[in-house]
Amino acid sequence: MKKLLILGAGTAGTMAANRMHRLLDSDEWQITIVDQNETHYYQPGFLFIPFGMYSKSDVVKPRRDFLPSGVEFIVSPIEVIEPDHNRVKLVKDNRYLNYDFLVIATGTRTHPEQTAGLQEHDDTPSRTRDSSRELRASSMRDGVSWHKTIFDFYTIEGALALAKHLRTWQGGRMVINIVENPIKCPVAPLEFTMLADWFFHEQAMRDRVELIYATPLPGAFTKPIASKHLGDILERKGVKIEPEFMIEHVDPDAKKIVSYDEREIEYDLLVSIPLNMGDDVIARSEMGNELNYVAVDPHTFISPKYPNVFALGDAAALPTSKAGSVAHFAVDCFAENFVRYADGLQLLPTFDGHANCFIESGFGKGLLIDFNYDTEPLPGMYPLPGVGPFSLLEESEANHWGKMMFRWMYWNVLLKGQELPLPARMSMAGKWKN
Amino acid sequence: MATKNIAGHQIHVNDEGFMTDPQEWDKEIAVEIAKEEGIPELSLQHWKVIDFCRQDGVSSGKAPTLRRITTAAGVLTKDMFTLFPKGPAKKVAKISGLGKPEGCV
């Protein structure tokens, strides 16, 4: 039996397990997937929790429900990957798993402790959820401001705490700050800001709230045309952008954030998108870059160093967005390619960095962007040229409903590795440049 | 693609002014681009960073991000902002004749 080992049962790992289970002969292959806990989170849904649009039960399901019965699922933190010996050591029982092929899909997570003052050490017990962080963070304590006047919404705990806080918040200056790029779902902070504008309108208190978007980027988004469109929308919504703001520290007593070039922004409520880093096991295994992401070929996901190691999803160090749609297109390209490769054929350079993201903009509307390594997000219609129903880079109700329907698609179609009638590679059909 | 005459050399640049062929770069060009970017004189500290970026950029085929520079070259982020004010990674990439850093996607 040949052994395919997948590390991480998040979006990319779960889709890969399902797809490979279908494509590989079960008489010849044993597929094993490892994760440190049992719970799968629908992470795109965290965005809606602070505004009371989703509750916890909308975004949580058992991982096992989405894994085929023929795939072995092991729950354990991972101690270390030993690619020179084709094996992985688990924390649980110090067990070793040997593999013929390894897929690393250990994702990315936020690290508020990496920014001084953001999550001060104090007396309150740490609310970090997963066991690997608990191991490392056992002596760490949250500060008095963390989840009181400083929040995140990239964790379930942060999103729920912020929802509770917003129910009674009386207004003031809300500052949304991105610590450093790259981040998971680079449009989420923009969506959060636009939803906040809508939410405070709905609460009849928008006139009592000042919204400031402090970003290390030169504008609202990473790519110039989308940045212009999105920047204009933010301006129309009365959001002030503070560009090229690289945060150095938070002063939670004076309630201000301070940048490396010594700009200061005072806040009443700080919503932070902390530094994102790949899993610690990548650093322990000396397989990552300075942010613990794994270097792989941008078109085939194979490691340049180990010919039987791949990385998919957020764990990979690739110049495309860290997003579920990218993971989905990546798994589409990887799965067929892997079957060829396992048969002794060359990998084909099929992946083009395709990303496709709905951007919720409040008031029942949304935008859609569709791009890849070479083509930035452009205006147009998607997926059918001229017809849509989704409009690119322009607000529409159809886009909002697309985003809302997506949760059903995620749980029922995407995670199970079923194919969507959408091409994995980006198409220029329906897009225009000026 | 545009060309530009700088320090007596004809170099290729993109529409944001980043050099597109790192092989066309030399130290005189760096001094001139630095002036354009508001750095009148390059100190030893500047050169330490530029030398690292050249080495790293030419071997990896892409300009290092700010975090890559601070981690691998051992320069404090605060010092990077003093040496290359306002967007240090972008600025040092431009002076080093490399493309725009890919940190933001």
Supply the pTM of this predicted model.
0.91
DSSP of A202-215, one letter per residue? HTT-GGGEEEEEE-
A182–B72: do the CB atoms touch at under 8 Å?
Answer: no
- The CA distance from B27 to the nearest CA of chain A, in Å, is 27
Give, rounded to a whole angstrom, the gap between the first and last alpha carbons of chain B. 23
- CB contact, 8 Å: A394 with chain B? no
Q: Which pLDDT score is estimated for B104?
A: 53
In the predicted model, is pLDDT for residue B103 greater than 70? no
Q: Which pLDDT score is estimated for A434?
A: 60
Helix axes A224-236 and A188-202, enclosed angle (nearest 10): 10
B53 is catalytic: no
Is residue A329 a contact partner of residue A351, using CB atoms and an 8 Å limit?
A: yes
B67 vs A218, A260, A290: nearest CB: A290
Per-residue pLDDT of chain A (434 residues; tens, 9 = 90+): 999 999 999 999 999 999 999 999 999 999 999 999 999 999 999 999 999 999 999 999 999 999 999 999 999 999 999 999 999 999 999 999 999 999 999 999 999 999 999 997 543 444 433 433 333 343 445 678 999 999 999 999 999 999 999 999 999 999 999 999 999 999 999 999 999 999 999 999 999 999 999 999 988 887 888 899 999 999 999 999 999 999 999 999 999 999 999 999 999 999 999 999 999 999 999 999 999 999 999 999 999 999 999 999 999 999 999 999 999 999 999 999 999 999 999 999 999 999 999 999 999 999 999 999 999 999 999 998 888 899 999 999 999 999 999 999 999 999 998 888 788 999 998 898 76
Residues A230, A361: Cα–Cα separation, whole Å: 10
Task: Kindly state the DSSP code that residue B22 receives in the 8-state scheme.
Answer: G
B12: left (phi over 0), alpha (psi -120 to 50) or beta: beta
Could you tell me which of A415, A395, A299, A396 has the C-alpha nearest to residue A354? A299
Q: Return the domain boundaries, chain A.
A: 2-109+278-342, 144-275, 355-414
- CB contact, 8 Å: B40 with chain A? no
How many degrees, rounded to 5, is the angle at CA A273 between CA A120 and CA A352? 145
**Buried residues in A179-211 as b, exposed as e (16+ CB within 10 A):** bbbbbbbbbbbbbbbbbbbbbbeeeeebeebbb
Q: Which pLDDT score is estimated for B41?
A: 96
- The CA distance from A259 to the nearest CA of chain B, in Å, is 9
Instruction: Give the rounded distance of the alpha carbon of A14 from its chain centre.
Output: 15
Q: Which pLDDT score is estimated for A363?
A: 96
DSSP of A356-390, one letter per residue? EEEEEEETTEEEEEEE-SSS---SEEEEETTTEEE
Q: Which pLDDT score is estimated for A422?
A: 84
**Alpha helix locations (H) across B1-105?**
27-36, 44-60, 66-72, 77-83, 88-95
Q: Which CATH architecture has domain A2-109+278-342?
A: 3-Layer(bba) Sandwich (3.50)
Tokens of A213: 């978007």
- CB contact, 8 Å: B76 with chain A? no
A222–B104: do the CB atoms touch at under 8 Å?
Answer: yes
Task: Kindly state the DSSP code that residue A116 receives in the 8-state scheme.
Answer: B
DSSP of A390-416, one letter per residue? EEETS-BHHHHHHHHHHHHHIIIIITT
B105 vs A246, A289, A321: nearest CB: A321
- CB contact, 8 Å: A182 with chain B? yes
Number of Cβ pairs < 8 A linking chain A and chain B: 38
Tokens of A350: 């099929």
Say which CATH class A144-275 falls into.
alpha beta
Is residue A86 a contact partner of residue A308, using CB atoms and an 8 Å limit?
A: yes
